[in-house]
Amino acid sequence: MRVDIANALAETSPVGVPREALDRLDDRVATAHETIQNGREEDAFGYASLNLPETTDPDAIRAAVAPFADATAVLTVGIGGSALGAATLATALGDDTETYFLDNVDPAHLRSLLDELPLAETAVNVVSRSGTTAETLANFLVVREEMAAAGVDWTERTLVTTGPSGNLRDLAEEYDLPALDVPTGVPGRFSALSTVGLAVPAIAGVDIEGVLAGARSAAADMTGSLFETPAYAYGATLFALDRREASVAAMMPYAESLEPFAEWFAQLWAESLGKDGLGQTPVRALGATDQHSQLQLYRAGPLDKVVTLLRPTTGPDHPIPNADLDGLDYLGGNSLRELLDAEFEATEASLAKSGQPTVTVEIERVNSESLGALLFEMEAACILAGELYDVETFTQPAVEWGKERARQLLRGESAQASDRLVVE
């Protein structure tokens, strides 16, 4: 990716980063880079994520999904990091295979999804490292029952992606299901470039070898300086802005097919850095659509944000047909991409003018190499930011309390009644 941080500097924005501060921060980046490289060499927990472009075996994935070559639809049963990487790649790069992600436990939604799916032609990938994720297992039990009721042999339509032991591993062994191993040392939100993120895209026709090659190429270019490494430029700039005023990090791709990427980024950023009272709030936006929704706030609201404007610089295009329209003469002879690009550049300029810091990220095109590099570089950016914040990037301890409370509630253990102030 190509990162432009000029509009995040104090020269442009009153809440921007002084250039000298970035120069000083680059010393910390160098130290963090050493930590990251050492972690990679030792394949240490979390840092091992950045080795996935080398360690992931695309042939093993191809072999595991081979039985589903005929599938017209693929259903991922998984939540959080078990779904978002695959959704990002399949949505941006997939062919006509319909991909569905069952990443919630809403019974109304599940019902309508089951009614829509051609079960006999659907491949199901059930993904949970532990095999004990409540939402995933509950959903899978329903899907399995539904397939059986429809006369579909679920054991012929199910792929399991899980750790070395647990319910799903037992299931795979009992029914001789194709199974993929979740890599060790890789938190779910960093697993897009592993079996977890690549199996469903492989079924949907994505060039997963190209995804991994793009990531490897980005990995090879990393140095210890933010002024040479786009991932570090991005991570260090967002960190430096947060230390000033930017408590919100909006991710605004100008490509409809990258909407799931913004969701993936939001999990990566929130769950990795949101700890010890620190962490920016990621906001998922979409260009040009959200110019008609969020831009008023971004321009005229508090200067407490950094907006990442992300675009592919090339892509398919379509001419705008000529028509004699009042006040729209300027559209004449232009194409939809020219309109979209003009809106991108106008939004970039308008945010700069209002003093709201932005970072511009460009990829060449929405293709497998660019997406592989983008995911890898955003993970590296996040890991760098974690080093700069000095937080434990790879854990998510704060969600445990709620999981235990939910289990208690389901067991019928009553919780202490809480205070209420109800208006109805």
8 Å CB contact between 55 and 61: no
Identify whether 403 is a catalytic site residue: yes
Choosing from 135, 146, 259, 271, the catalytic residue is: 271
Site for its own copies in 287-306 (CB under 8 A): 287-289, 291-305
Q: Which of 351, 222, 253, 239 is nearest to 295 (CA)?
A: 351
d(C-alpha 158, C-alpha 171), whole Å: 11
The pair of three-digit structure tokens given for residue 365, joined into one six-digit string: 């095109």
Identify whether 292 is a catalytic site residue: yes
Site for its own copies in 78-107 (CB under 8 A): 79-81, 84, 103-107
Q: Pick the piece of the chain touching its own copies (CB under 8 A) from 49-57, 118-126, 204-212, 325-333.
A: 325-333
353 binding its own copies? (CB under 8 A): yes
Residues 6+ apart with CB under 8 A from 180: 60, 61, 64, 159, 160, 161, 162, 195, 199
Residue among 11, 27, 153, 390 that touches its own copies (CB under 8 A): 11
CB of 60 to its own copies, least distance (A): 26
**Helix orientation angle between 259-273 and 368-389, rounded to the nearest 10 degrees:** 20
Site for its own copies in 192-211 (CB under 8 A): none
For its own copies, the closer of residues 44 and 105 by Cβ is 105
Q: Which of 288, 380, 299 is nearest to 338 (CA)?
A: 288
Q: Which of 56, 64, 113 is nearest to 372 (CA)?
A: 56
CB of 374 to its own copies, least distance (A): 13
Cis peptide before 288 (omega within 30 of 0): yes
For its own copies, the closer of residues 62 and 340 by Cβ is 340
8 Å CB contact between 208 and 202: yes
CB of 335 to its own copies, least distance (A): 7
Q: Which of 210, 163, 146 is nearest to 374 (CA)?
A: 210
For its own copies, the closer of residues 61 and 253 by Cβ is 253
- Secondary element (H or E) of residue 301: none
CB-based burial label for 212 (10 Å; 0-12, 13-18, 19+): buried
Identify whether 364 is a catalytic site residue: no
Choosing from 42, 173, 256, 403, the catalytic residue is: 403
Site for its own copies in 123-162 (CB under 8 A): 131-132, 134-135, 137-139, 141-142, 144-145
Site for its own copies in 223-242 (CB under 8 A): 226-230, 232-233
Site for its own copies in 18-77 (CB under 8 A): none
- Active site residue ranges: 271, 292, 403
